[in-house]
Chains A and B, each alone.
Chain A
Amino acid sequence: MTLRTAAAVAAGKLARAGLQTLGRGATALPGLVTLALDPGAIGAMTASLEHGAVIVSGTNGKTTTSRMLADVVRAAGWAPIHNRSGSNLDRGIAAALLAGSDWAGRPEGNVAIFEVDEASIPRVLARIEPRVVLVTNLFRDQLDRYFEVDQLARRIAASFAGLPEATTLVLNADDPIVARLAEGHRGRTLFFGVDDPTVGGLVPQSISDATHCPRCDTRLRYARVILAHVGEWSCPGCGLARPARDVSAAAVELLRDRSRVRLAGAVDPVEVPVAGLYNAYNALAAVAVAEALGIGAATAARAIASFRPAFGRLEVVEAEGRRLRIVLVKNPAGFNAAIGALLEQGGPHRLLAALNDRDADGRDVSWIWDADFEALAPAVEHAVATGLRARDLALRFKYAGLPRERTEVVDGWAAAIRRAIGLAPQGGEVVVVTTYTAMLALRDTLARLGHVRQFWED
Chain B
Amino acid sequence: MDLRICHLYPDLMCIYGDRGNVITLARRARWRGIEVEERALNAGDALDPAWADLYFFGGGQDQGQDVVSRDLDGPNGDALRRAFASGASALAVCGGYQLLGHEYLPAGGPPIPGLGAIDVTTRAGKVRFVGNLLAQAAQGTLIGFENHSGHTYLGPKAKPLATVLVGRGNNGEDETEGAVQGRIVGTYCHGSVLPKNPWLADMLLAWALERRHGPVTLAPLDDGEELAAQQAAAEVARTRP
Contacts and interface: CB of A to CB of B under 8 A. Distances in A.
Interface size class of B (residues with CB under 8 A): 35 or more
A394 B11 contact: no
B147 A364 contact: yes
Given A363-B145, A365-B145, A366-B16, A219 B232 contact: no
Q: Which of B18, B192, B228 has the most CB of A within 10 A?
A: B192
Interface in B116-138: 128, 130-132
A369 B66 contact: no
Given A389-B232, A395-B229, A147 B24 contact: no
Interface residues of A, number: 38
Interface of A: 140, 143-144, 147-151, 206, 208-209, 211-212, 214, 217, 219, 357, 363-370, 374, 388-392, 394-396, 398-399, 404, 409
B16 A149 contact: no
A392 B131 contact: no
A363 B131 contact: yes
Nearest to B70: A217
Contacts of A368: 17
B216 interface: no
11 contacts: A143-B15, A144-B147, A208-B12, A211-B12, A214-B63, A219-B42, A219-B44, A363-B132, A389-B236, A392-B229, A394-B229
Nearest to A332: B17
B160 interface: no
A212 B70 CA distance: 14
Contact of A388 (B11, B42, B62, B236): B236
A399 B31 CA distance: 11
Contacts of B17: 366-370
Given A144-B145, A357-B236, 17 more contacts: A143-B16, A147-B147, A148-B62, A206-B19, A208-B10, A211-B12, A217-B66, A219-B42, A363-B145, A366-B20, A370-B14, A391-B225, A391-B232, A392-B232, A395-B226, A395-B229, A404-B225
Contacts of A388: 236
Contacts of A409: 228
B232 A144 contact: no
4 tightest Cβ-Cβ pairs between the two chains A and B: A369-B20, A366-B17, A369-B17, A391-B229
Contacts of B47: none
B132 to A, nearest CB: 8
B166 to A, nearest CB: 13
Given A144-B130, A150-B63, A151-B62, A395 B196 contact: yes
B233 interface: yes
Contact of B225 (A214, A367, A369, A394): A394
B145 A366 contact: yes
Interface string B222-241: 00011011001100100000
B62 A399 contact: no
Contacts of B11: 208, 211-212, 219
